[in-house]
């Protein structure tokens, strides 16, 4: 008896992207289609419009596909009944209306969802993170571990109660009471696994690929973000929050999008942004902070080189003759007595590192706050 795994995709376009199936006849129409390949049935459903449709299974011996009518002859199913129809086809009642059945009883119907009954483990949404990696979830992520300070704040503010773990560097929001899992570069993977999260959130720049791989090997769903500009930050946050977390767009994210939509003020000023000393390091190319600077009308003097955070001696920074040197309080904690003395001929301004480098709720006010700090209109 063939085994069939059911995967729920978030919308028709997601199903087509993931499977590479461009069967316009089957996918067209007001109700759309369910598309499957081999033993796997791919279901697409758009919860906002409640659109869904007929089920097509593609196999090697029948490349044209078989129409599987859950309703016994209907070619389409109303979106409101999509799950009930699927459960009926597998011989299993809706989980909210019946006790859980064993996998053996489900197997007797000819549609086995491994290793547990349908709906609970095998009716899953397949999302794609910013790297295009598939992330399977049986429902909205309710237990989240964040390995990125910005994303920790974004989740904690937007979905209170869902965050169960965060790094030692996750300082916002203030008073966050969750299990700490060490640092961004050396997370305690065993502790993360023990928390049994539905989703672990990481970032390509902040976290190591090794840790992401090991967490996935341990059976955890890991969502990796890629953020190197303000538009990427907005899009990535929207994708994460409205996708696997199933939230509406939070007010702070909508406000951030509006705040950064304007053009950069002029005239352009030359800037250098040290982020560390002993050795001195500066903001370089292809960074979120570099894009923030450009949108503030600032030309990063070290933004054209190959390095993202190159080592540059203080003397070389002075020799570049910046109009402005921005000294953030993180990751290196520059203060009035530690940093400005190295740049006596330049205007040195102490700024919040969170405003320059974080892409969570602080984005909503960061532009106005930074422009005020550097004295720009």
Structure confidence by residue, pLDDT tens digits, 47-102: 444 444 333 343 334 333 443 333 333 233 333 333 344 434 444 333 333 333 33
Which of 58, 93, 124 is the endpoint of a domain? Answer: 124
Contact 165, 146 (CB under 8 A): yes
Give me the percent of the chain exceeding a pLDDT of 70.
67
The domain tally of the chain equals: 3
Structure confidence by residue, pLDDT tens digits, 266-299: 889 999 999 999 999 999 999 999 999 999 999 9
Task: Look at residue 263 and tell me if it is in a domain.
Answer: no
Task: Look at residue 230 and tell me if it is in a domain.
Answer: yes
pLDDT at residue 138 in the model: 85
The pTM assigned to this predicted structure is 0.69
Query: 3-class DSSP state for residue 361?
Result: coil
Which of 258, 279, 312 is the endpoint of a domain? Answer: 258
**Calpha distance 307→310 (Å, rounded):** 5
| 133 in the same domain as 108 | no
- How many other CB atoms sit within 10 Å of the CB of residue 358? 23
Structural domain of 219: 129-258
Range with the largest mean pLDDT of 30-39, 103-112, 368-377: 368-377
Task: Look at residue 66 and tell me if it is in a domain.
Answer: yes
Q: What is the CATH number of the domain that holds 133?
A: 3.40.50.1980
Task: Look at residue 364 and tell me if it is in a domain.
Answer: yes
pLDDT at residue 262 in the model: 84
| 135 in the same domain as 250 | yes
Nearest in space to 203 (alpha carbons), one of 170, 161, 250: 170
């Amino acid at each position: 008896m063939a085994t069939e795994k059911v995967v729920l995709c978030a919308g028709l376009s997601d199903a087509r992207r993931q499977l590479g199936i461009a069967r316009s006849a089957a996918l067209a129409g007001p109700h759309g289609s369910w598309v499957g390949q081999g033993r796997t049935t791919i279901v697409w459903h758009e919860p906002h419009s409640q659109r869904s449709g007929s089920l097509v299974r593609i196999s090697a011996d029948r490349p044209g596909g078989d129409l599987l009518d859950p309703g016994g002859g209907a070619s389409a199913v109303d979106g409101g009944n999509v799950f009930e129809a699927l459960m009926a086809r597998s011989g299993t009642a809706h989980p909210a209306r019946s006790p859980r059945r064993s996998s053996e009883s489900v197997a007797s119907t000819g549609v086995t969802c491994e290793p547990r009954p349908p709906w609970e483990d095998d009716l899953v949404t397949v999302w794609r993170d910013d790297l295009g990696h598939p992330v399977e979830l049986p429902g909205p992520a309710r237990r989240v571990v964040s390995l990125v300070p910005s994303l920790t704040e974004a989740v904690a503010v937007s979905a209170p109660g869902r965050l169960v773990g965060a790094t030692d560097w996750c300082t916002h929001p203030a008073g966050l009471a969750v299990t700490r899992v060490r640092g961004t570069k050396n997370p305690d993977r065993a502790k993360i696994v023990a928390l049994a999260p539905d989703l672990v959130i990481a970032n390509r720049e902040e976290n190591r690929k090794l840790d992401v791989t090991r967490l996935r090997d341990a059976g955890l769903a890991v969502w990796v973000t890629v953020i190197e500009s303000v538009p990427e930050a907005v899009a990535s946050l929207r994708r994460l929050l409205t996708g696997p977390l199933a939230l509406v767009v939070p007010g702070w994210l909508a406000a951030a999008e509006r705040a950064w939509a304007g053009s950069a003020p002029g005239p352009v000023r030359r800037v250098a942004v040290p982020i560390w000393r002993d050795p001195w390091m500066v903001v370089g190319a292809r960074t979120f902070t570099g894009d923030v600077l450009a949108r503030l009308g600032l030309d990063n003097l070290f933004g054209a080189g190959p390095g993202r955070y190159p080592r540059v001696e203080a003397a070389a920074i002075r020799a570049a003759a910046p109009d402005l040197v921005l000294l953030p309080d993180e990751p290196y904690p520059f203060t009035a007595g530690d940093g400005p003395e190295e740049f006596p001929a330049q205007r040195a301004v102490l700024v919040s590192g969170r405003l320059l480098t974080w892409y969570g709720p602080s984005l909503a006010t960061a532009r106005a706050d930074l422009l005020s700090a550097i004295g720009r209109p």
